[in-house]
Chains A and B, each alone.
Chain A
Amino acid sequence: MSWIRRREICILLYVIPAAIILINHFSGSLGPVTSEIILWASTLATFAILLGVISLFQHHLTVLARQRRGWPYSIILLASFLTTFAFNYIYPTAYDFIINRLLASLQMALLAYVGFYSYTLFFRASGTKNPYVLVLLVAILLGLFYNLPMRDVIWTGWGPLGKWVNDVPNTGGMNALLIGVGIGTLALFIRTILGYEEAYLGG
């Protein structure tokens, strides 16, 4: 069965569906097959979640068995996972409480912490004599004023000025960036179908 692990087989598994989708995109002649492949992608994503859960358990059970650094956190993680999973089927009210009250609040609090981090950054890192950083600070100020809900109370010009920055320099820069990304994606695709790209094969 060693042939199944051959590099060519893995590349073919990528190239054949990609070619079918590409041909259908330009000709429209392989519609049903393309739909089936896209459905497979969704099904595979479901299995990927299962694979993720298995890997999670493998990793944390190993941490516990070998009592590696931070092993008590593994107990908390596995207990949280199993409790949430079980509640979803046996006691949905508790599951809703965990998701809506605990998880949602904790994740929001975590993001709020990033806010405080940003303000510390504004206070500690704003002072500069580097002209490039000064340009960046001016751009930040413009962005902040443009997104300030009460901007018109301070000066009615912030709206048109911010809109111009958004529409002209920003759009130009972003267009260039997107074209670069597009060309890069195309190059990556060609490298992959020709077998030069091996990162996705674990190479």
Chain B
Amino acid sequence: MLRPLALPFPIEEPTRKAYELLEKVPKGGVIVLVSDEGFPSWAELGPGEIAVYRHAFRKVKQDGCKVIMLTCYEIAGMILGERALSYVDLTGLKYGEDWVQLGFIPGYEAVLAGMIKDLKSIAPVDKFGTPTKDIPMLKNINSIDDYDFLYACTYTAMDVYIRQWGEAALARGVPIVINMLSGTVPLAMPYYRAGTLSAYLNSVIGGAGYEMLIGQPGMGVALLDAQSTAHLLAIGLIIFVQGIFTVRFMTRRR
């Protein structure tokens, strides 16, 4: 914070792919943003969330895409999704025509399963109590056949999204992108390699990479110095302690 190191960092292939997939959403396409993160994870997932929101709403402005926001894990996700939205310039966009906030819908997996079959049945009203059947934007949008991009931000197991969306999304060629904690990336690898998970953002480093790709460096890039030094401290401690232990062990043996 006092003196930024501004060290270079790699933009990972899954991050680049996530950006390209959102960029490829056709004119008038529907982008679904599910915010299921919790407050403790904001420092890690927030940069990616903000960057994806910025990119999605840029697509709304440039290509007339539509954005559906919802949360189904815990209410914190909705609050944080709206925090990410506060970083977006919404000038010229109209609620209900360009984007819609369905709010927190309890039920988690049931909601994820329901939203790809019949969105209006699991969300009869939006966050503000307006019946979804009366929202102009949702007139012809109700199932996975109408979506062009599925995004979820989660701080728990990511396989839930693949379990509920994977088969239908793969059959229709709808990409799934998940913004997740570094600790859950190993779990995502089989799905990523199999193609069920189209791309992912690996925590802060993924978020920072996405910020660079959209040309709006922010919280992610700023956090990288802290992450680098924290990782180096951990590496240093492990090597130092194991080194001392090994020297002591060898000395005793002699």
Contacts and interface: CB of A to CB of B under 8 A. Distances in A.
Interface in A96-117: 99-100, 103-104, 107-108, 110-111, 115
Q: Is the interface of B mostly helix, strand, loop or mixed?
A: helix
A137 interface: yes
B10 A151 contact: yes
Interface string B200-212: 0011110010000
A129 interface: yes
Nearest to B208: A149
B242 A149 contact: no
Q: Is the interface of A mostly helix, strand, loop or mixed?
A: helix
Chain A interface size, as a band, is 35 or more
A149 B118 contact: no
Interface in A40-82: 41-42, 44-46, 48-49
A35 B121 contact: yes
Contacts of A49: 106
A123 B235 CA distance: 10
B122 A150 contact: no
A147 B39 contact: no
Given A31-B117, A128-B242, A152 B237 contact: no
Contact of B231 (A147, A167, A178): A147
Contact of A108 (B10, B43, B110, B186): B43
Nearest to B106: A45
Contact of A107 (B40, B108, B241): B40
A126 B245 contact: yes
A170 interface: yes
A107 B42 CA distance: 10
